[in-house]
Amino acid sequence: MLEIKGLKVDLEEEEKSILKGVDLTVGAGEVHAIMGPNGSGKSTLSYVLSGKDGYEVTAGSATLDGADLLDMEPEERAAAGLFLAFQYPVEIPGVGNMTFLRTAVNAQRKARGQDELSAGDFLKEVRARAKDLKIDAEMLKRPVNVGFSGGEKKRNEILQMAMLEPKMCILDETDSGLDVDAMKLVSEGVNALRSEGRSFLVITHYQRLLDHIKPDVVHIMSNGRIIKTGGPDLALEVENNGYADLLAEAE
């Protein structure tokens, strides 16, 4: 599914190296978690994969089902099946949440050569998905993320993911700013989307989230590299002992 090889990335404006050779392969239907201390490059990896400006790839590659991600515009990556759930979802005053969702769904359908969803079909679909995430009609009408609480914003991200049905989902610290109940709700939303053909890359600081979204593989990232890969136990080890031991081991 997702294959990252020797990926090196600099910050465009500061000539600062952030990713220093990342290798990562996520198979179809797998859930991988990336943990690591602040500043290790986790969020940068998610931004570079989704095509945000401001980063320069100096070496390596990233492919989704064999297609070169780094060569595509952000919207082409989305159409190819990549989805990033933002750590800080963006507020867009003046654009209704419903309009936003329909525009996105139909843009992707069009890019894939499918017919646009009719207004009726779209409405039915979005209502059903929203209900699962306890998103009410009022939230769908409001401008995108404007005045949403932290939990509402994250649920709205999962709603978009559910509507867009991507193959490869990247969750960038989706647990940040969530209380226990909201985390449970968001996790259930994610788990409902797990399937053989859909993979997840879950970026998080805490093991907590991984109690709800059970990963197949856990990677530890530090200073722009993946320093250790293991099973779910690795996350527990971090929770109990912190990163210090792992970092020392990698030195």
Given the rule CB under 8 A, which residues bind other proteins? 50-53, 73-75, 77-79, 83-84, 86, 89-95, 99-100, 103-104, 107-108, 111, 143, 160, 164
Q: Which is nearer to other proteins, 148 or 243 (CB)?
A: 148
Looking at beta carbons only, is 40 or 160 nearer to other proteins?
Answer: 160
Min dist CB 90 to other proteins, Å, is 4
Closer residue to other proteins (CB): 41 or 51: 51
Least distance (Å) from other proteins to the CB of residue 190?
17
CB 97 within 8 A of CB 142: yes
Q: From the CB of 108, what's the least distance to other proteins, in Å?
A: 4
Are residues 151 and 176 in contact, defined by beta-carbon separation less than 8 angstroms? no
- Shortest Cβ distance from residue 115 to other proteins (Å)? 16
- Minimum CB distance to other proteins smaller for 171 or for 246: 171
Nearer to other proteins, 84 or 133 (CB): 84
Give the residue among 11, 6, 26 at the shortest CA–CA distance from 198: 26
CA distances (Å), origin 66, targets 3, 7, 24, 80, 207: 8, 16, 14, 11, 31
Residue 129: enclosing H or E segment and its boundaries? helix 119-132
What is the dihedral angle through the alpha carbons of 220, 222, 227, 232, rounded to the nearest 10 degrees? -10
Picking from 163, 108, 105, 100, the residue whose alpha carbon sits closest to that of residue 131 is 163
Residue 35, Cα to own-chain centre: how many angstroms? 14
Least CB distance from residue 78 to other proteins, whole Å? 4
Q: How far is the CB of 84 from other proteins (least distance, A)?
A: 6
Closer to other proteins at the Cβ: 103 or 191?
103
Task: Note whether 26 and 53 are within 8 A (CB).
Answer: no
Of how many residues is the chain composed?
251
